[in-house]
Structure 1
Amino acid sequence: MNILFLTDNFPPEVNAPASRTFEHCREWVRAGHEVTVICTAPNFPKGELFAGYRNRLWQWEAIEGIRVLRVWTYITANVGFAKRTLDYLSFMVSGFLAGLLVRRPDVIVGTSPQFFTNCTGWALSLFRRRPFVFELRDLWPESIKTVGAMEDSVWLQAMERLELFLYRRSAAVVSVTESFKRNLISRGIDSDKIHVVTNGVDLSRFHLLAPDLALREQLGIPAKAFVAGYIGTHGMAHALETVLEAAAMMRSDSDSGRKPDARAMNDSLAIQPIYFLLLGDGARKQALKTKAAEMGLDNLIFVDTVPKAEVPRYWSLLDVSIIHLRKADNFTQVIPSKLFECMGMGIPVLHGVAGESAEIVQREGVGLVFEPENAQALCGGVLRLAQDRALYGDLREHCLAAASRYDRSTLARRMLALLERLA
């Protein structure tokens, strides 16, 4: 079978869409299928080309047996609605033209969050007379309203109509959450065409590792410190100001201006200081760094995005992983993919996302759930895991046990079975 996959993001980019697409396509190649990915030159999230790449009309490369065709797009940083829309539209056009020239596929897959990629997939399915699959990773444009990037308008309403049109015209929709499936059904999409294939973890990369002590020393983290970390995009949706507020409450220095209630709550800091690590880039990264400097947060460390192969080293530094999104109804339908990587690494989570993902955390027993955008609740969770070693050990064991239930290889084969039926 010849699979054509359309996506904005692909390695060496390291965000969730790039990882999911690569890991699925790699498994499909191993199963004996031919996979061609049409994508952009790597530039996410800063809008800067990665070393060794140029924004050419097109350029071919092979990554672990996957044929990768990178096409020209209007490149911009992941900030600003108008410029990002130009980026999406340019890929819609160049991706379509490239899709006409590659060998005729048996099935065409387009992935969100933004659905202009799926406009390309649908159009190619008409011209190439092959089935089109809409992979639904986010409810876009609903998420645009949720983060406040754009108010409700005629333009947004038109995009929502286009969104529904694409769901209806697809041969199948592959949703990453049950909540997204319920959302589509409530909006009139046939339930029989919606298939759920959740995100998962590549257990060949994300597994139990001893802490990288050299890296810990390089970052200036004290040997006895308990490290709570966030690894991922620093965007409008993530409300990482909450982490900064928690770091301010938990400084061990009595002259640091901590609130008295936080000092009383955390008498153990003199014995085990709490450090926060934020790794990644995004639209809010610079603003967060500026605010942290103004707050004098000497217990918080920022690290820019690192190559994909280096990410597990940074995971190994964390005693607990913070997963957080803004407090909004739309985000109750989201399952952050880093949750599964935490399971694979055996790192308990502090989960500041309500809804379906919180249910997974509680069902699998892999962490503690706290109210989104509640810094005091986040502090309480950090302290509880730092002090209750029996609870911490139980959560760690549950993480490692649960990881096998979200093995990316198994999930990729589940999606492959659907593509084979459609083809």
Structure 2
Amino acid sequence: MLLYQMTHMKKNIFYFTPYYPPDNNAAAIRNYWFVKTLKEDEQNVQLVTGNDLLFKLPKNTDSAIKRLWKEQLAGIALFFKVLSSKHDLYFFSSPPFITILLGSLACRITKRRYILDIRDIYPEVFLHLGLLKEDSPIYKFILGLTKKMYKSADSIITVSKGLQNKIRNHSPESKVELIYNGYDSDLFKPNPNKFEKYTIVFHGNLGKFQRIDLLVEVARLMEKSHPDIQFKVIGYGPGEKHLQNPPSNLEYLGLMKYEDIASYIAKCHMGISLRTDDEISREALPVKVFEYIGVGIPVIVTPQGEASELVENKKLGSTAKNKAQKIIQKILETKRINIGSVDNFSRQAQSQKVTSIII
């Protein structure tokens, strides 16, 4: 009993996340469950979001250069907020990468313990976006800071095996834990009452790594050949430009409340996640994939990588190359799959792991 009390002492935790409900993006929902789990474990959590910083974080619709500039300003604000606080432990969720790079720097200067939750691998993302070159002095400088940030962290949490391996390559001595995003089993449940017409849904961020253009091409090719199939797109981001003149079998619904997304996709018949064919996407496990699993509908995933491996190994859907005709073929094959729900991928189950990491 005494040993339990010593190892289970209540901690004062400074918890920074860029987004938190009522935001309804992947980062907000992931961090909501982490914070909820820590509070249920009687930890004292001071929540700090992007809205609490003097300089505000960028929007998804901002240009890459503008995002970098705003992340730096937000990082400066976080740096001084950390310096002026006193907690037992600091928790930083990334991206925004530059922001937490500066926040964790404040911890290193003051010799404070911190944990990182890494959802994208930086600074490599800057290379894929064409913002930096691998041999540039700026990239090498940022990479050096990143390795120091990883090395000094008490623990690092990440969302996929690919990212876990990348982080270990940067910092072999670091403790890197895997906690999948999962789905909220209180919201994402199978619904036998489906739309009358067979409906394929895409929801989430319409960002640079999402192939919204390819989804539109697939829908356009199926418009006349398969009039019994319709497509729905939910979300926002730069990819909206591809949805300005969609075919008649594709409807763009824009933003939707998180609770409404859950009930809507449960009435669909299939989920689809089309991403760019690059290293970033091959190592990604999109939240939407877990949420389709949660409502019990099969999934089409591109490109081939960690997400497709999960889907195929668990017989949860199909994977294809980023070619419209190949995707259409897989859609027609996958219509016959009935998966049910998979409980061990719920956020409730996944978030319980954060308590043991904090302790």
**TM-score scaled by length of structure 1:** 0.77
Decide which of 22, 26, 33 is 1:23's aligned counterpart: 33
Contact kept? 2:91, 2:116, Cα under 8 Å: yes
- What SS is found at the alignment partner of 2:247? coil
The answer to whether the 8 Å contact 2:182/2:345 transfers is yes
For 2:75, the equivalent position in structure 1 comes to 92
The amino acid of 1:382's aligned partner reads: I
**Residues 277 and 302, structure 1, Cα contact 8 Å, conserved in 2:** yes
Is the 8 Å Cα contact of residues 125 and 131 (structure 1) preserved in structure 2?
yes
Q: Residues 76 and 183 of structure 1: is their aligned pair in 2 closer, same or farther, counting only changes over 3 Å?
A: closer
* Aligned: 1:376 with 2:325: yes
CA distance in 1, matches of 2:64, 2:22: 24
Q: Of residues 4, 7, 13 in structure 1, which corresponds to 2:17?
A: 7
User: 1:354/1:101 Cα in 2 relative to 1: closer, same or farther (>3 Å)?
Assistant: same
User: C-alpha distance in 1, partners of 2:156/2:57?
Assistant: 28
Change (3 A) 1:114 1:351: same
Q: Give 1:159's aligned amino acid.
A: I
Deviations 1:111-149 (A, max 9, x none): 112322322432342466431112111112212322445
Partner of 2:235: 280
Note if 1:289 corresponds to 2:261.
no
Whether the 8 Å CA contact 2:105–2:149 is kept in 1: the answer is no
| Aligned 8 A contact 2:101 2:146 in 1 | no
Residue aligned with 2:223, SS: coil
CA contact (8 A) 2:82 2:107 kept: no
Paired residue for 1:199?
A: 181
Q: Tell me, which stretches of 5 or more residues in structure 2 are unaligned? A: 1-10
Partner Cα separation in structure 2 for residue 123 and residue 85 of structure 1: 17
Establish whether residue 239 from structure 1 lines up as the match of residue 211 from structure 2: yes
Structure 1 Cα separation of the partners of residues 248 and 344 of structure 2 = 39
Please say which of residues 141-150 and 198-207 is displaced more in the overlay. 141-150
The DSSP-based 3-state class of the residue aligned with 1:205 is: coil
Matched, 1:32 2:5: no
Over the matched positions of the two proteins, sequence identity in percent amounts to 20
Tell me the SS of whatever aligns to 1:284. helix
1:71 shift after superposition? 2.4
**Contact 1:73–1:94 under 8 Å retained in 2:** yes
Tell me, in whole angstroms, the C-alpha distance in 1 between the residues paired with 2:260 and 2:132.
35
> 1:107 pairs with 85, 89, 112, which one?
89
In the alignment, residue 419 of structure 1 is paired with which amino acid? I
Equivalent residues in 2 for 1:35-46, closer than 5 Å: 35-41=45-51
1:157 aligns with 2:143: no
Aligned amino acid, residue 26 of structure 1: K
Classify the secondary structure of the residue corresponding to 1:235: coil
- How far apart are the structure 1 equivalents of 2:23 and 2:220? 32
SS at match of 1:236: coil
**What residue number does 2:164 align with?**
181
Do structure 1's residue 72 and structure 2's residue 54 form an aligned pair?
Answer: yes
1:326 aligns with 2:276: yes
**2:352 is matched with which residue?**
413
Amino acid across the alignment from 1:279: I
* 3-state SS of 2:248 partner: coil
Letter in 2 for 1:85: L
For 1:157 and 1:236, how far apart are their aligned partners in 2? Answer: 24
SS state of the match for residue 115, structure 2?
strand
CA contact (8 A) 1:6 1:109 kept: yes
Q: 1:101 and 1:408, CA in 2 relative to 1: closer, same or farther beyond 3 A? A: same
Any conservation in 2 of the 1:6–1:117 contact (CA below 8 Å)?
A: no
Preserved contact between residue 95 and residue 119 of structure 2 (Cα < 8 Å): yes
Report the equivalent of 1:144.
126
Matched-pair contact (CA < 8 Å) for 1:230–1:322:
yes
Number of aligned residues: 347
- CA–CA separation in structure 2 for the residues paired with 1:149 and 1:124: 26
Change beyond 3 A, Cα 1:147–1:275: farther
State the superposition RMSD in angstroms: 2.1
Residues 188/24 of structure 1: CA separation in 2 closer, same or farther (3 Å cut) = closer
Amino acid at match of 1:418: I
Any residues of structure 2 matched to 1:110-125 within 5 Å, and which?
A: 110-125=92-107
| SS class of match (1:250) | helix
